[in-house]
Amino acid sequence: MFLTKPLVYAPCSTGGQKIRYILGPADDFMNHENGNEPVPRRCCSAIRAFPRHKITESLNKMTTKRLGRFDRLQKNHPNGLNLRTISLYTYKITAQARSAFSRWILCPVLFLGYVCIMTSVSPALAFEPLLPIPTTIAYNRPKALLGRALFSDPILSLDKTISCASCHDLNQGGSDPAPCSTGVKSQQGVMQSPTVFNSVFNFRQFWDGRAADLKDQVKGPIESEIEMQMTPVLVEQRLNNSPDYLRAFRDVYGHNSIKFDEVTDAIAEFEKALITPNSRFDRFLRGEIALSSQENEGYLLFKELGCITCHNGLNMGGNSFQKLGVLNPVIRDERYNDRFKLTLNERDLSVYKVPTLRNIELTSPYFHDGSKKDLHDALKIMTFHNLGMDLTNKENNQLVAFLHTLTGQSPEILGIPSAWPELEQPPSPPE
């Protein structure tokens, strides 16, 4: 009988300024006390800390062939690995050995296993740490089409000037090209509007993760004083006065009066369909195309520098909360909704849900405050504050070239492929 467990790898500083990387079984150095939020315990309680080039060597050896096995593990975490996972390795140990010899035997065995991976005696244990997003997703089409109409209809805002699409431009990467959005009566919010594309893969919604899922999220903007300023009762009144909506809802939900719950249900169903498959990177992961050498270099850097510790899983983000300023703290501005405002736990100061990097070239400006318009500038912030290092211009360009391969196809349900950058037609998805 075999046990399969993920090994995770994360940067940490082990005294002094030097950044080392640790690799260890998730449970050994992830602290799950806080429910969904795995945070490393003391770095060095993990098996060992290793210099970067060692990790890089092993990551470079990963091949797409191993995705199949990765996929199986991923099934247990459909929303992306809910861990601070850089590369998911598996190690197999017999349950018997585990219970009998416990840690004394286990640790050296694991360490040996690790050495095997690193020295590629057994590279078969390694996997590509990222996954392509699926080419299709199951959703209820009639509900989603109804949701599509509601999403772009200002009827859901008090003064009938604002729809969801006002702040989540479906032609513009699903986010707002302005640093902060304008709601009803021309009021300005503070947070940058994140993309609604692929948000179905996020483990929570909003920068601070206050909504558990898409349906829960929809109520937020509708009832927000700044955004749409409506109440569920008012929404029901308005829609029930519209013969077109009455007919459409009756066809989908089968009765004669529209309920607020059905409104949020239909919109969430539409958002489910907003996936952007077949990016060049996903096609690369599936072994269909090669990346250019600059893009490849960028991808290696992405793994080597440790971006992947936080930006991983299906959405390359959206599956953990992390601090902005892990290594070089930032000055916190109280106006923004970080996790601290929700939990009042000091550890959550300047902590946000890690944003997705999918379609990143289309979702400028960046960060919770929309403070950086240019992707190069955003990367300088990331590497300095979250990785404790500076990028050379060359590295920055390589990373940007890689990030540009993350642009997928416009969601099929929108029927607007022309609005997106030209993509080669990918082969039809397998049955």
324 is an interface residue for ligand HEC by CB under 6 A: yes
- Can you list the positions of beta strands (E) in 57-99? 89-94
Compute how many other C-beta atoms are within 10 angstroms of the C-beta atom of residue 320.
Answer: 26
Distances (CA, A) of 14 to 17, 52, 111, 201, 357: 8, 13, 19, 33, 29
DSSP 409: P
Question: For ligand HEC, which residue of 276, 319, 363, 405 counts as binding (CB under 6 A)?
Answer: 363
Contacts to ligand HEC from residues 124-183, by CB under 6 A: 156, 162, 164, 166-168, 181, 183
399 is an interface residue for ligand HEC by CB under 6 A: yes
- Per the annotation, the verdict on 227 as an active-site residue is yes
Beta bridge pairs of residue 123: none
Contacts to ligand HEC from residues 248-267, by CB under 6 A: 267
Tell me whether residue 288 or residue 377 sits nearer to ligand HEC (CB atom).
377
Q: Smallest distance from the beta carbon of 175 to ligand HEC, in angstroms? A: 7
State the Cα–Cα distance between residues 68 and 66, nearest whole angstrom.
Answer: 5
Tell me whether residue 24 or residue 355 sits nearer to ligand HEC (CB atom).
355
State the Cα–Cα distance between residues 300 and 303, nearest whole angstrom.
Answer: 5
Question: For ligand HEC, which residue of 80, 173, 194, 408 counts as binding (CB under 6 A)?
Answer: 194
Q: Smallest distance from the beta carbon of 135 to ligand HEC, in angstroms? A: 21
Rg of the chain in Å (alpha carbons): 23
Question: For ligand HEC, which residue of 80, 132, 221, 411 counts as binding (CB under 6 A)?
Answer: 221
Strand arrangement of the beta sheet that strand 19-25 belongs to = 48-50, 19-25, 2-13, 89-94
43 is an interface residue for ligand HEC by CB under 6 A: no
Name the region of 198 (left: φ>0; alpha: ψ -120 to 50; beta: rest): left
- Please list, in sequence order, all residues whose beta carbon lies within 8 angstroms of the beta carbon of residue 1, skipping any fewer than 6 positions away: 94, 95, 96
Q: Which residues are catalytic?
A: 227
Binding site for ligand HEC (CB under 6 A): 156, 162, 164, 166-168, 181, 183, 189, 191, 193-194, 196, 199, 202, 205-207, 214, 217-218, 221-222, 227-228, 267, 271, 305-307, 309-311, 322, 324, 326, 337, 352, 354-355, 357, 360, 363, 366-368, 378-379, 382-383, 386-387, 399
